[in-house]
Structure 1
Amino acid sequence: MVRSLCVRQVGGRVNRTVPTQRKKPPGWRIVFPRRVTSDNDRRSALPGREPRSLALRHRTQGGAVNPAKSRALTVLLTVVGCVLLSAPGFAQAAVPASTVRDGGSQPIYSFTNAIRETVWVDTGIDGDGDGHTDRVAADIIRPREPAQAGQKIPVIMDASPYYSCCGRGNESQVKTYDAQGRPVGFPLYYDNYFVPRGYAVVLVDLTGTNKSQGCVDVGGRSDIASARAVVDWLNGRAGGYTASSGGSAVRPDWTNGSVGMIGKSYDGTIADGVAATGVAGLRTIVPISAISSWYDYYRSDGASFGSNPDGLARTVESSAASSRCAAVHRRLVSGAAPNGDFTSLWTERDYVLSAGKVRASVFAVHGLGDLNVKTINLGQWWDALAAHNVPRKLWLSQTGHVDPFDYRRAQWVDTLHRWFDHTLLGMDNGIDREPMVDVERHPDAWTTDPVWPPSGTANTVLRPVNGQTPGLGQLGTATPPSGSTATFTDDPQLGEQDWAAQPDSASSARLLYDTGPLAADLRLSGTGTVTVTATPSTSAARLSAVLVDYGPTTIRDYLGNGEGINTLSTKSCWGADRPGDSSCYYDTQTATTDVDLEVFSRGWADLGHYASLASGRTLTPGRAYTMTFRLSTVDHVVPQGHHLALVLAGTDGGEITAPSHPPTITLGLGGTSASLPVVGGAAAVRPEPGVHSAPAVRPDHLPRTTAPVGRLG
């Protein structure tokens, strides 16, 4: 269960216990120390961070806040080492002493009297072709007292297309306004919690959504420019106005220009994209379940997931935009080639290519079971940031597409508070000396690593060797006999759970190779690849590969409706309230399921893109083609006694589109392998000695998929 720290307003303040933290000399930038502990039975384990190479749910209301949940967090921190690093993301202005106590910013400012206003910022782009540059609406809430005292404050910003169409958070909150159009309800808890602590919160409507002008271009130039323009305005480099057209100029003389962007899904994606422009003033980003390359949201190594960006644009755009953005819709359709080619449209929306421009620190969060924004988006972004020495931190959960506020609430709010205090207010609170990464190893049981992937991780090649039963065999470091082959026939009606369900039985639709029971735990951490040498019987072919952990275990039910959580009827409160803007949210608990197998990594490809993603080719039946494609990024331990299996098949019916004539595919096993990120390398792959036996799977212990599919929420 997520243990909620009940934060209640008392005497105009929010009562909260903040851990005492140490001071460091001004100017020192200390990053990524280590702590090696498990918080299996703790309420509070503080996170760490680092690396890698790409649903709407309405809840019924009920119950009151449980005061017993309002307990102080106990923090246990073991510092093993640290690295000194100077980075723009950590260089900040001094903090007014009156806002700081016990190492953290305090809720000393009135939320009731906070200033609420809307500023329309000029993007410099005429996306809808009306002859005028587009303005985007930035709804702002900020404490009144700092401006009156001549103190400048930093900004926490969430730029989103969802503030009117779909809502934010587990309760799908939308913006609300009074009769004069002034902002009243700000979705999520950021304003309730951070405004009393001396931050401004700015919620930006992306172009073409809610009150903003222009068109939605789904992660493209206009989307990114609309959010970047607000960062520029906050730093005096763009124009802001009191109205969407005309109006008086507005100067942000209340801010010091330090901005932190945060958001889940599309919102976090925009944070990635803005950071990749290198805009000055953006100090940190907190992308949650975010896309790093839109190609990898809609496609996978030439295979299509069956949807296109124009559909998303039509979902989120305002009625005004839908009537004037037909040209943008056409470009989204024509640019997203249905054959899976990596076109210029995708290049424009690939932020990984510009990771070298990132000047902000990055605190990334992702669910390892996220089948919406798949973990390859995290992995490739993380690797690119690491290659450019970007200061970074990471949380990896067992959930699907879920915000950490809904699976590790108390610790998340505490960690986010300290992260913003450090990166935006310049406080030395120790968060930069904690471990780089927190990983949920079992439901509600978290471990940490000083770096990620962990030291000693090496790409390890495992190869399939045929067994006595056709289509089944062993997976290991041994080389298969020369000339050995295996054949399957693509069945688009089947998917990963069908392929994995009976590992002891042959199937014409897939090949399955497993290690046998392992003699020791085997940890995979990072992004793997699969290479096949495939001979198709037709002119087009799809390929799928999945890694399966066979053995009894209890996991978060990330395939269930809540994607790893259940929403309760009780609420807990996280900040100050005023009419129309509550700080109270439904509590959640962990949703688990007992299974005998877990598919923990997946990859898909179109064989016609064997030579290049830029241009798919028609295949020659009977000719062999060699192709390497990516698996999703993982951090998974296959326990001692469990089996690790590689399943190879054609179309994954639950994920990718099928060719018009599904082929029979013959694999040359000498040219087929999986390169996996194994902690400890090849020496760590240790099957138990003895006769190889297939894993056992009970029919009533199979994963069941009921999670929402294909919504970027």
Structure 2
Amino acid sequence: MPIPARRMRFTTWRSLATAATAALMATFLTPAAAGAAPRESTPVYSYEHAIREAVWVDTGLDGDSDGKKDRVAVDIVRPREPAQQGRKIPVIMDASPYYSCCGRGNESQLKTYDANGNVVQMPLFYDNYFVPRGYAFVGVDLAGTNRSDGCVDVGGRSDIQSAKAVVDWLNGRAKAYTSRTGSATAKASWTNGRTGMIGKSWDGTIANGVAATGVEGLKTIVPISGISSWYDYYFAKGAPLYDSGPDWLSNYVDSPDAQAKCAAVQQKIVDGAPRTGDWTRFWTERDYVKDAGKVKASVFAVHGMQDLNVRTKHLGQWWNALAKNGVERKIWLSQTGHVDPFDYRRGAWVDTLHRWFDHELLGYDNGIDKAPMADIERHPDQWVTSRVWPPSSTDTVKLRPGQGTRAGVGTLGLTTGSGTETFTDDPQLSETDWAAHIDQPTPDKAGFTTGPLAHDLRLSGSSKVTVTATPTTATAHLSAVLVDLGPDTIRDYNAAGEGITTLTDRTCWGPSTTGDSSCFKVTKANTTAVDYTVFSRGWADLGNYASDWKGVPLTPGKPYTITLDLAASDHVVPKGHRLALIVAGTDKDLIDPPSTKPTLTLDLSRTSARVPLVGGSKAFEKATDGATAAPSTTVLDGVGEPRTVHRVPGDRL
């Protein structure tokens, strides 16, 4: 539980030496002596007197081409007492490019250092909370950032090796030095090598990438809003999602040293990531999904279902690949955008993370592996659980759009539609404009809806929309979105806080020092009343109809078929609401427009949405009052019933 800042008593941590001795007797005695194995690590070690040190780990690479192997800076905070007692401890690690340029967390904290170059402020609460509980916390500067050598290569070999080399060092397989340029070596004799990686955004991405190497010693990762394939961060089947590429991102986080040395690497990034949206070797190197079969670590994935920065396609394809390979996993899905769970469900998050690390890194049998796999935010601050995710009764159901009584306002059901619908790309309009006018025949979209539902309908997982479209120009972009039509109160993910409001009061999560406070500003849900909710979306360049890897010019007047991958979600369309599918052109602010403004004609007989419904087609029939016959269904792509593989307790020590 948090400690309100105004009531915090540092005397809670009084008489640390005496208390530590007594607590250690109870906590670390063998089961035979103590009567039972420990179930929770407790704050028995001094944070004030923790060892703070820095080492530089040899990555084995020379990314900046200066003739010397790159060394990455590793800042360490660890309890002093275990080493004095001859005990080795596990590691929680956050490898990041943001420690000096941009900051971490809701308050954009940076690393600060004392006169000896040892870390004073380690961003976020991990060190304050976990070091007193017997963990070391390690903050790694990715190559080319802060105090590290080398160059940022945006998810490539250098980025991943920056962190993997540290895991290797922690397990005695790599060299480290006590300074950036010196020859004095440093040994990680204080750790048992058991490492858990955590981090949000780029940091979580690095955790995914390192896990995909299969490195020994990495026991678990907690990726928060992490990328699983960098191509999908910048493109959706050829459609550009941003007006800049990874070269801009590299420049954004580069240290001054890297900016002076890394021009050649920058050019390789530019050359390897063309704005055409074609797949190159650059993207293959940065695709972690293809290597999911190498993952040995357990995965606790966290993502905002309305994250429009790292969209949930990253989560869906990574989760499915892990499921296929039987990886032990857990998931949290919130209504927020790109937000850390510490800032939308703080108490429950710290407690759950504590139990997860205790189980995965200390081997404590605390039951978290038997708890429900998924926590899902159904309404602001209202959470439900699922035993597995997606639920085992989830099937993909093919929904068909059909013509309605008015042009541009169609139906959505189980029977094959016929006829055509036509729309013209308008880059000034977005998915919310389309949804707001779903019942009006506007020229910029084709919309299809069910009638009001007789029962709740739950979609859980990733959807696909296949369209056959005839363009009037040689270029065309497509968008497909799923919409819940009905009033609701949701987190305002489009606002500045992406679903949260930051307040002035603080709560504290462990002891503090003069230079490193454990107290962070409280947040609350920022909500808004809506008449509709867009809950899943996907995009494509129609020129990629024949290949996910390469686009070609279109022949005006010729029909093309392409499948759009929609982002993973878990959403309940309530009784009385309607489910809608919208197909349109440019989704303003989410994809870039093509060079022309095409008119596209949809062939409805060759257009469909494959959606993951809990209960399958029978659930859809029931929700729509059985208005149409049910076709056969197929198991959800890549998942089926998600498998959980539990290791025996003895394998965790």
TM-score over 0.5 for the alignment?
yes
Assess, with a 3 A threshold, how the Cα gap between structure 1 residues 689 and 104 changes in structure 2: closer, same or farther. closer
Distance 1:556 1:358 in 2: 34
**Secondary structure of 1:104 counterpart:** coil
Deviation, structure 1 residue 246: 2.1
Structure 2 counterparts to residues 17-96 of structure 1, below 5 A: none
Hey, what does 2:246 align to over in structure 1? 309
Distance 1:538 1:173 in 2: 49
Distance 1:661 1:650 in 2: 11
Letter in 1 for 2:214: G
Is the 2:236–2:538 contact (alpha carbons within 8 Å) kept by the matching residues of 1? yes
Hey, what does 2:284 align to over in structure 1? 347
**Secondary structure of 2:543 counterpart:** helix
Letter in 2 for 1:117: E
Deviation, structure 1 residue 13: 2.8
Distance 2:512 2:10 in 1: 11
Hey, what does 2:11 align to over in structure 1? 11
Hey, what does 1:361 align to over in structure 2? 298
1:164-198 residue CA offsets vs partner (Å, 9 max, x unmatched): 00000000000001123221110000000000111
Letter in 1 for 2:184: S
Deviation, structure 1 residue 688: 5.0
Is the 2:31–2:37 contact (alpha carbons within 8 Å) kept by the matching residues of 1? no
Distance 1:222 1:95 in 2: 44
**Secondary structure of 1:468 counterpart:** strand
1:242-295 residue CA offsets vs partner (Å, 9 max, x unmatched): 111123000111000000000000000000000000000000000001001111
Flag the structure with higher helix content: 2
Letter in 2 for 1:283: K
1:651 pairs with one of 586, 596, 606: 586
1:166 is aligned to 2:128? no
Is the 1:435–1:448 contact (alpha carbons within 8 Å) kept by the matching residues of 2? yes
Hey, what does 1:318 align to over in structure 2? 255
Is the 2:237–2:549 contact (alpha carbons within 8 Å) kept by the matching residues of 1? no
1:467 is aligned to 2:404? yes
Hey, what does 1:497 align to over in structure 2? 432
Deviation, structure 1 residue 342: 1.6
Assess, with a 3 A threshold, how the Cα gap between structure 1 residues 96 and 108 changes in structure 2: closer, same or farther. farther
**Secondary structure of 1:467 counterpart:** strand
1:248 is aligned to 2:184? yes
Hey, what does 2:633 align to over in structure 1? none
Is the 1:530–1:631 contact (alpha carbons within 8 Å) kept by the matching residues of 2? yes
Hey, what does 2:634 align to over in structure 1? none
Is the 1:475–1:515 contact (alpha carbons within 8 Å) kept by the matching residues of 2? yes
Distance 1:143 1:370 in 2: 36
1:150 is aligned to 2:82? no
Structure 2 counterparts to residues 178-193 of structure 1, below 5 A: 178-193=114-129
Distance 2:259 2:547 in 1: 36
Residues matched between the structures, number: 610
1:349-386 residue CA offsets vs partner (Å, 9 max, x unmatched): 11000000000000010011111100000000000000
2:141 pairs with one of 205, 215, 231: 205
**Secondary structure of 1:270 counterpart:** helix
1:585 is aligned to 2:520? yes
Deviation, structure 1 residue 556: 1.2
Identical positions, percent: 63
1:281 is aligned to 2:220? no
**Secondary structure of 1:332 counterpart:** helix
Distance 1:209 1:12 in 2: 38
Assess, with a 3 A threshold, how the Cα gap between structure 1 residues 688 and 435 changes in structure 2: closer, same or farther. closer
Deviation, structure 1 residue 602: 0.4
Assess, with a 3 A threshold, how the Cα gap between structure 1 residues 186 and 384 changes in structure 2: closer, same or farther. same
Assess, with a 3 A threshold, how the Cα gap between structure 1 residues 180 and 629 changes in structure 2: closer, same or farther. same
Distance 1:249 1:208 in 2: 22
Distance 2:3 2:576 in 1: 39
2:270 pairs with one of 308, 330, 333: 333
Is the 1:4–1:587 contact (alpha carbons within 8 Å) kept by the matching residues of 2? no
1:607 is aligned to 2:523? no
1:385 is aligned to 2:322? yes
Distance 2:152 2:14 in 1: 38
Is the 1:536–1:622 contact (alpha carbons within 8 Å) kept by the matching residues of 2? yes
TM-score, normalised relative to structure 1: 0.83
Deviation, structure 1 residue 689: 5.8
Assess, with a 3 A threshold, how the Cα gap between structure 1 residues 459 and 97 changes in structure 2: closer, same or farther. farther
Distance 1:494 1:473 in 2: 20
Hey, what does 1:127 align to over in structure 2? 63
**Secondary structure of 2:405 counterpart:** coil
Q: Which runs of structure 1 show a deviation greater than 3 angstroms over 4 or more consecutive aligned residues? A: 3-12, 93-98, 686-692
1:507 pairs with one of 442, 447, 450: 442
**Secondary structure of 2:92 counterpart:** strand
Deviation, structure 1 residue 97: 9.2
1:676 is aligned to 2:611? yes
Deviation, structure 1 residue 95: 10
1:83-128 residue CA offsets vs partner (Å, 9 max, x unmatched): xxxxxxxxxx999999x99721111111111100000000000001
Deviation, structure 1 residue 309: 0.5
